[in-house]
Chains A and B, each alone.
Chain A
């Protein structure tokens, strides 16, 4: 059992400041938090004196926020820690896959070491949970799964994780069924998938096989779906049918889901209704490419669809622009959608905290509560809105009550290659 301690002078959001009913700022008050057994055991106002002799750690008015989650990342393919390498020019997705097929075996020896660097970056950027996809394909077999599992197991104290078995080269296209079934027996916890149309070329067959693997392994699903507009929507609807047939309610996610942003809003509303009905979640990486459509975040939020953000990747054969910085990702989403006022910014934090925000929609303080897990980031900011817009510095991350100081060397980008 860990020794209990007080985090003193922690800034907590307690409400919105309003002017004629309009939110114009956030009210915060200083508190002391008692951390014990991985939980927030007690909360006192800073004006109250602490009577016991437990250890005290003075946060000097840093803002406490619920810790972040990295909901879509590929820990197994980065060049991090290695030399600079730009992306090889290719004409289409299939050529990109062929390019990767050549690169993967060469990188294999580095996978674990690089995954560790990435995990440290992600943890220092405030996440205490990672959902990672790992390649399951004929080129690396189950090696990526093995190495990423090993890497993650070394950071049990810093974060929890889920591993998605990801048939990157196509479940059917690369004949990965056997490998996928094996992966689910060897530590992968979620069944992945990839563009049943665009990559596999057989939408119904590909989806049915993915579903069958999930049922066999009694595992959730998280499928990459880049296929655009009506092809993507058709695929989603087909998946929804199968979810219903198999009773896989509340067990599936769609990653990316660009198609949702490529159809009229009225139609997106109908698809959103199905997400809700079947408990399907969306994992978005909110990419910035001009030719990629971003799902309509506010529509999905209004409907009640669970949407979470991920950074996707950092420096691999697919792209050089990833950062592993989830706070930056939500800020740039805000920039895209022009969430510029206090409340919009504050609420956007939910996309990276599993929907936990200190204040609820009516501005009432709902986090932290006594008994909540002590998964916290301590930020040099005065409120959630500032944290998102100015990408404020994270000083400490608490995971299950254990406090970690952020290593600035690791968290800055320039140390990526050297």
Chain B
């Protein structure tokens, strides 16, 4: 596919007033897309080859497409009827409930995952990392469904599947299943709370690492452990990473313990994370939010995801990852033009149109044409307004246009 995106707005720099960044400057361009790559970027005044097809962006802003880096595609009521969460005493009771629910949810799992991916695509997402239940109830069935659905959407979304021992790797005796999952299409080894879930931090983390080494795969572990237990677990994991040589291959999801840790501890852990190349994934929960701006400033790589939406764990969630970026900005008072605009990097795998000095660094000729058009004048506005994507490009193809959109979120009566 080769075409021009005409009259597209690109950010070109920051405007300073009284030594402060007051606004973002932007200009119109024509961009030539071919073979999945931005081939030419020319000022909008210049003529384009009339023999090549074109779409008119009509002054909309081009932004890098989004990544949804923590979600559970295989367990959701999304697009289905309303169901509140049942009140339970603790997570173990929830797990017991889940064991009963999972077989019932399986018949709709495919459809709901499809609806969810459609919805993500409509919200500008072209990369999804999903955690998929691997436990004795589901066996590898959820994995098979997740794979199928991601394959269907492979033209619009790059998917990664984390094999997730939701009921505890040791606790539910899922080691064999996990190894099998890694041979059956899962690409990342997951885990959950080695202490409170598995009751054996050493064995749990060792087994996780062993599975990863066998499969030559990265790791992404759910860590909800609170306070000092969470900090201890991170430190222990870092030791194992060093022993196994698994640097730059591990993500910790949630890491709630960093939300209550002292400044000194946060700085210490930031150094440890950087040393082992551990990245973080967060859904920016409203309680004990981890100090994301501080960690990022210290060099820690952090991605955002919506986490589960409308399921038996939580009735909330909209599935729009830009909403999570906005939540982050709101929580940490990132309200000025630059701070707000730069928040975008948490959902774009680190890409922002302008760098910290206000130089245009995206898009460049040769960049992958994974992008979205939004009705906004700059990144800051897009984040603050949760700008809707009117068009989504992936590998240089148009994979979504807003007139295709149907309302996927609603339960409701019709």
A321 to B329, CA, bound (A): 9
| Contact, CB under 8 Å: A392 / B411 | yes
User: A57 CA to B20 CA in the complex, in Å?
Assistant: 57
Complex formed: what's the CA distance from A133 to B333 in Å? 23
Contact partner of B22 (CB less than 8 A), chosen from A88, A291, A340, A385, is A88
Instruction: Tell me whether A390 and B414 are in contact (CB under 8 A).
Output: no
**CA distance in complex: A6, B86 (Å):** 37
- Tell whether, in the assembled complex, residue A321 and residue B378 are in contact, meaning their CB atoms are under 8 Å apart: no
Which residues of chain B come closer than 8 Å to A288, judged between CB atoms? 286, 327, 330-331
A320 CB contacts on chain B under 8 angstroms: 335, 340, 380, 384-385
Complex contact B384–A321 (CB within 8 A)? yes
For this complex, into which size category does the number of interface residues on chain B fall? Answer: 35 or more
Contact with B287, one of A336, A341, A344 (Cβ below 8 angstroms): A336
Question: Does B412 touch A at the CB level, under 8 Å?
Answer: yes
Q: Which residue of B lies closest to A328 (CB)?
A: B318
Q: Inside 8 A of B409's CB, which chain A residues have their CB?
A: 390
Interface residues of B in 311-330 (CB under 8 A from A): 314-316, 318, 326-327, 329-330
Asked if A62 lies at the interface with its beta carbon under 8 angstroms from chain B, I say yes
Quick one: closest A residue to B292, CB to CB?
A290
A288 to B378, CA, bound (A): 24
Which of A87, A315, A334 counts the most chain B CB atoms within 10 A? A87
With A320-B384, A321-B326, A390-B310 as known contacts, state yes or no: A86 contacts B23, CB within 8 Å. Answer: yes
Q: Are A345 and B410 in contact (CB under 8 A)?
A: no
Q: Given A87-B336, A382-B413, are A332 and B310 also a contact pair (CB < 8 Å)?
A: no
Are A340 and B84 in touch, CB under 8 angstroms?
yes
In the assembled complex, B376 has its CB within 8 A of some CB on chain A: yes
Is there contact, CB below 8 Å, between B335 and A390? no
Are B315 and A389 in contact, CB atoms less than 8 angstroms apart?
yes
B16 to chain A, nearest CB (A): 12
Question: Within residues 22 to 69 of chain B, which ones have a CB less than 8 A from any CB in chain A?
Answer: 22-23
Name the one of B23, B316, B380, B387 contacting A335, with C-beta atoms under 8 angstroms: B316
Report the separation of the CA atoms of residues A195 and B219 in the bound assembly, to the nearest whole angstrom.
50
Q: Given A289-B333, A382-B411, do A24 and B316 touch, yes or no (CB 8 Å)? A: no
Which residues of B sit under 8 angstroms from A389, Cβ to Cβ? 82, 84, 310, 315-316
A336 to B289, CA, bound (A): 11
Contact A341 B86 (CB under 8 A): yes
Interface string of B380-397 (1 = CB under 8 A from A): 110011111000000000
B236 within 8 A of A: no
Q: A87-B336, A381-B412 are known contacts. Are A414 and B82 too (CB-CB below 8 A)?
A: no
| Contact for B315 among A25, A315, A340, CB less than 8 A | A340
In contact, A289 and B331 (Cβ under 8 angstroms): yes
In angstroms, Cα B331 to Cα A319, docked, is 12
Bound CA–CA A87/B380 (angstroms): 10
Q: Are A85 and B23 in contact (CB under 8 A)?
A: yes
Determine how close the nearest CB of chain B comes to the CB of A417; give it in whole angstroms.
7
Q: In the complex, how many angstroms separate the beta carbon of A320 from the nearest chain B beta carbon?
A: 4
B81 interface hit (Cβ, 8 Å): yes
List chain B residues, Cβ under 8 A from A332. Answer: 286
Beta-carbon contacts of A288-322 to B below 8 Å, as 1s and 0s?
Answer: 11110000000000000000000000010001110
Tell me what chain A mostly uses at the interface: helix, strand, loop, or mixed: loop
Contacts A288-B286, A342-B84, A386-B82 hold; do A393 and B385 have CB atoms under 8 A apart? no
A22 touching B87, Cβ below 8 Å: yes
Do residues B330 and A321 form an inter-chain contact, with CB atoms below 8 A? yes
Partner of A380 from B81, B329, B413 at Cβ < 8 Å? B413
Q: Assuming the A-B contacts A11-B413, A321-B329, A390-B411, are A382 and B81 also in contact, with contact meaning beta carbons closer than 8 angstroms in the complex?
A: yes
Q: Indicate if A416 sits at the interface (CB-CB under 8 A).
A: yes
Interface size on A, residues (CB 8 A): 51
With A86-B335, A289-B333: A413-B385 Cβ-Cβ less than 8 Å: yes
Among A61, A63, A320, max chain B CB count under 10 A is at A320
Q: Does B370 contact A (CB under 8 A)?
A: no
Q: In the bound complex, how far is the Cα of B85 from the Cα of A335, in angstroms?
A: 12
Is A409 positioned at the interface, with any CB of B under 8 Å from its CB?
Answer: no
Distance between Cα atoms of A338 and B88 in the complex (Å): 12
Do the beta carbons of A390 and B410 come within 8 Å of each other? yes
Counting CB contacts under 8 A, is B332 at the interface?
yes
Min CB gap A263→B, angstroms: 18
The docked-state distance in angstroms from the alpha carbon of A414 to that of B20 is 27
A331 within 8 A of B: yes
Residues of B within 8 A of A291 (CB): 333
Q: Is A383 an interface residue (CB 8 A)?
A: yes
A residues near B310, Cβ cutoff 8 Å:
389-390
Given A88, A319, A416, which contacts B20 in the complex, CB threshold below 8 Å?
A88
Residues of A contacting B327 in the complex (Cβ-Cβ under 8 angstroms): 288
Q: Which of A360-418 contact B (CB under 8 A)?
A: 380-383, 385-386, 389-393, 412-414, 416-418
Does the CB pair B86–A22 fall under 8 Å?
Answer: yes
Cross-chain contact A61 with B84 (CB below 8 angstroms): no
When chains A and B are docked, how far (Å) is the Cα of A25 from the Cα of B413? 15
B377 within 8 A of A: yes
From known contacts A336-B287, A389-B315, A413-B385, infer whether A418 and B375 are also in contact, taking CB-CB under 8 Å.
yes
B contact residues around A386 at 8 Å (CB): 82, 84, 411-412
- B46 → chain A, closest Cβ, in Å? 26
Docked CA distance A41–B247 (Å): 71
Give the CA-CA distance A336 to B284 in the complex, in Å. Answer: 11
Q: Given contacts A321-B330, A390-B409, is CB(A331)–CB(B286) below 8 Å?
A: no
User: B84 to A381, Cβ gap below 8 A?
Assistant: no
B10 to chain A, nearest CB (A): 16
Contact partners of A321 in chain B: CB under 8 A: 326, 329-330, 335, 384
Q: How far is the CA of A137 from the CA of B199 in the complex (A)?
A: 62
B11 in contact (CB, < 8 A): no
B413 with A61: CB separation less than 8 A: yes
Which residue from chain B places its CB closest to the CB of A11 in the assembled complex? B413
Task: For B77, give the chain A residue with the smallest CB separation.
Answer: A390
From residue B382, how far is it (CB to closest CB) to chain A in Å?
A: 9
Known contacts A341-B86, A345-B84: does B375 contact A380 (CB below 8 Å)? Answer: no
A264 within 8 Å of B by Cβ? no
Query: Using a CB-CB cutoff of 8 Å, which residues 71-100 of chain B contact chain A?
Result: 81-87
Find the B residue at minimum CB distance from A383: B82
Bound-complex Cα distance A86 to B336 (A): 5
Contact B380 A86 (CB under 8 A): yes
CB <8 Å contact, B333 and A84: no
- Say whether B114 faces chain A, with CB atoms less than 8 Å apart: no
Q: Which 4 A-B pairs have the closest CB atoms?
A: A342-B84, A386-B82, A86-B337, A389-B315
B contact residues vs A (CB 8 Å cutoff): 20, 22-23, 81-87, 286-287, 289, 310, 314-316, 318, 326-327, 329-333, 335-337, 339-340, 375-378, 380-381, 384-388, 407, 409-414
> What residues of chain A have their CB less than 8 Å away from a CB belonging to chain B?
11, 22, 24-25, 60-63, 83-89, 288-291, 315, 319-321, 331-332, 334-336, 338, 340-342, 344-345, 380-383, 385-386, 389-393, 412-414, 416-418
29 contacts between A and B (CB under 8 A): A60-B413, A85-B23, A86-B336, A87-B335, A89-B339, A288-B327, A289-B332, A315-B384, A319-B335, A320-B340, A320-B385, A321-B326, A321-B335, A331-B316, A336-B286, A338-B287, A340-B314, A341-B85, A341-B86, A344-B87, A345-B84, A380-B410, A380-B414, A382-B82, A386-B411, A389-B84, A390-B411, A392-B411, A416-B385
Given contacts A336-B286, A417-B385, 8 further A-B contacts (CB under 8 A): A25-B83, A86-B337, A89-B335, A321-B384, A341-B86, A342-B84, A392-B411, A416-B385
